[in-house]
Amino acid sequence: MTTQLVQIRARRAASPAAEPTGPRVYVETHGCQMNVADSELLLGVLAGAGYAAVTRPEDADVVVVNTCAVREKAETKVVNRAHELGALQRQRPDLVISIVGCMAEHLKDGLADLAPVDVIAGPDSYRRLPELLAEARQRRGGGGGAVVDVKLDKDETYEGLDGADAGDGVSGFVTIQRGCDKFCTFCVVPFTRGRERGTAPREVLRQVRALVERGYKEVTLLGQTVNSYAWEDSTFAQLLRAVARVDGLERIRFTSPYPVDFTDDVIAAIAEEPKIGKYVHLPVQSGSDAVLARMRRGYTVAEYLAIVGRLRAAVPTIALSTDILSGFSGETDADHAATLDLMRAVRFDSAFMFAYSERDLTYAAKKLPDDVAPAVKQRRLAEIVALQDRISAEVFAAQVGRAARVLVHGPSKRNPAELAGRTDDWKTVILPAGVGTIGGFVDVTITRSTQATLFGTPA
Ligand code: SF4
């Protein structure tokens, strides 16, 4: 699982040439990259049913909110957002509000008690979304409550639908695996996304080639535990190498791997295939063996460090990021200190850091007390964030003077006159205006850094 900050991303409008003819839909995305990809997927389903995408809820007949359930805070944000949309619905009673994805699966019809909602649909129900929305549109004004479809389907991989756009026309997503069988004790994902299943390699390659034909240069392979991917006799390493042979594709990334599934053949593929980015997200969660055991993560600190060692032996410059969960059940000051020690030992390039919040359905919610006081969780989290900020600043400063090959993704967010791109170890580089084209490569020398960004000039 990639525990990333909640983002809200409005779907780009349909092409200017395509005048909306059917109902207008606005989709916004909360949560991880898999949700970004799923939003594109469900937009594809809706486009096939005649829906036209718009960029503002005010212009829509149907609003779809694609949600995350990993943390309580993420769900609270969605409830607040649904009430904002409810205010819009009071002005426009025909507006249909649909809440889909992990939170819909988690809360099921109970979601209707928390938020104004007409359709509640889980992650395996997107093919049926047009029918669910049609039923909800009929019900609006007539009563009858929300339309609910939260059936999990152990075979649904959305085969036949297309890979997704990361929003820049350069980088695309292909979901190669859905669901999770790991059942870490704190995590609700196996309950909201169902059992693990891989997409057939021929279908993955079809989606990758289709993205390349549309001009994409980079693809990110997505899965909840992406490196445990399996389909019949095919392994993740074999899939990586097959994707690397797709002509016209320049870079491959994958997220999120599960540490213990980092087999030697995967590490060899990363080291040997030039197109595979030299960057790995390796979620550790805690630096304490006792906490890792209570989380049922399946590795000890020593085993995790051994995986880091094997990755760095194969690719000495490899960039590593991680997830850290602070304040899990029973975490002591000594456990917390062990997490800080592990961070100092590994020196991650970056990290996603969160305080633990109990999620119902999980083993931890049923059996392990949420017994670290909120103030203690927050203090420990602040220490973790401060340490990571310092390490990130040092790691990025060490890049100054280095030569790098940057794939240009688009204008810089801060200053649209400049360009932004990424190195093959997934670091953002800001370039002066006019030194490259979007989707092209620029060879640069890194001249300056912050804790999250590099600045380069053409070499
Ligand atoms: S159960 Fe564990 S491996 Fe699966 S998504 Fe949750 S944290 Fe990741």
Q: What is the predicted pLDDT for the residue at 253?
A: 97
Beta-carbon count within 10 A of 10 CB: 16
For 162-211, what is the HEC assignment? Answer: CCEECCCCCEEEEECEECCCCCCCCCCHHHHHCCCEECCHHHHHHHHHHH
CA-nearest residue for atom 5, ligand 1, is 1
9-149, superfamily in CATH? Answer: Methylthiotransferase, N-terminal domain (3.40.50.12160)
| pLDDT band at residue 87 using 50, 70 and 90 as cut-offs | very high
Rounded mean pLDDT of the chain? 93
Q: Which region holds residue 145: left if phi is over 0, alpha if psi is between -120 and 50, else beta?
A: left
The model's pLDDT over 412-444, given as tens digits with 9 standing for 90+, comes to: 999 999 999 999 999 999 999 999 999 999 999
Average pLDDT over residues 112-129: 96
Q: How far is the CA of 191 from the centre of ligand 1 (A)?
A: 10
Q: Does any ligand 1 atom lie closer than 6 A to the CB of residue 229?
A: no
DSSP assigned state of 127: G
Q: What is the predicted pLDDT for the residue at 140?
A: 80
Q: Does any ligand 1 atom lie closer than 6 A to the CB of residue 180?
A: yes
DSSP assigned state of 260: G
Average pLDDT over residues 189-217: 96
Given the CA of residue 297, which atom of ligand 1 is nearest to it?
2
**What are the boundaries of each domain within the chain?**
9-149, 164-397, 403-458
Q: How far is the CA of 190 from the centre of ligand 1 (A)?
A: 7
CA-nearest residue for atom 3, ligand 1, is 182
- Quick one: what percent of the chain has pLDDT higher than 70? 95
Would you call the peptide bond into 256 cis, given omega within 30 degrees of 0 as the criterion? yes
CA-nearest residue for atom 6, ligand 1, is 187
Confidence (pTM): 0.91
| pLDDT band at residue 9 using 50, 70 and 90 as cut-offs | very low
The model's pLDDT over 126-169, given as tens digits with 9 standing for 90+, comes to: 999 999 999 998 888 666 789 999 999 989 999 988 877 777 88
Q: Which top CATH class is 164-397?
A: alpha beta
Ligand 1 pocket: which of 178, 193, 224 to mutate (most atoms within 8 A of CB):
224
Q: Does any ligand 1 atom lie closer than 6 A to the CB of residue 259?
A: no
β-pair partners for 148:
120
Is 3.40.50.300 the CATH number for 403-458? no
Q: Does any ligand 1 atom lie closer than 6 A to the CB of residue 184?
A: yes
